Amino acid sequence: MPALIRLAEGLKGIKVLHICGNATGIVPYMAKCGYHGISVEEAVDVARIKSLVGNVKILGNVSSKKTLLFGSPENVKEEARRAIEAGVDLLEPGCGIASLTPLANIKALVEAAKEYGWKKR
């Protein structure tokens, strides 16, 4: 945590901290490291952590290694809808996007953000 805080202090602009895997147990610590947002994978229950992060934004939560890579556009939109309803502040893949991810699935993620996003809340 001290190293992440020092890193955040040295950065300019909007700062986002991503920790791979099920980071549920360390989310409160992530939120105290000085970043504007924390990026979490689909293993993290966003609704559960929402009250633990204060003003820090929650990003992510759509599976890049399962749903985006191997799912259908409908699967992507459904998972994105659930992430938005759970409380993500910025919809994005839970981790990096594999190079073989179908373009239709990436487009479905964008469509879901427009269809279910913050304007609908």
Candidates 58, 64, 56; CA nearest to 85 is 58
| Sequence ranges of the domains in the chain | 2-120
Residue where the block lists tokens 């895997």: 21
Tell me, what's the pLDDT at 118?
A: 62
Report how far residue 107's alpha carbon sits from residue 111's, in angstroms, rounded to the nearest whole number. 6
Tell me, what's the pLDDT at 117?
A: 83
Query: What Å distances lie between residue 18 and 36, 75, 93, CA to CA?
Result: 11, 24, 11
Tell me, what's the pLDDT at 121?
A: 47
Classified as helix, coil or strand, 78 is: helix
Is the pTM value of this prediction over 0.85? yes
- Two structure tokens written together for 108: 């479905």
Q: Does the structural domain 2-120 have CATH classification 2.40.160.40?
A: no
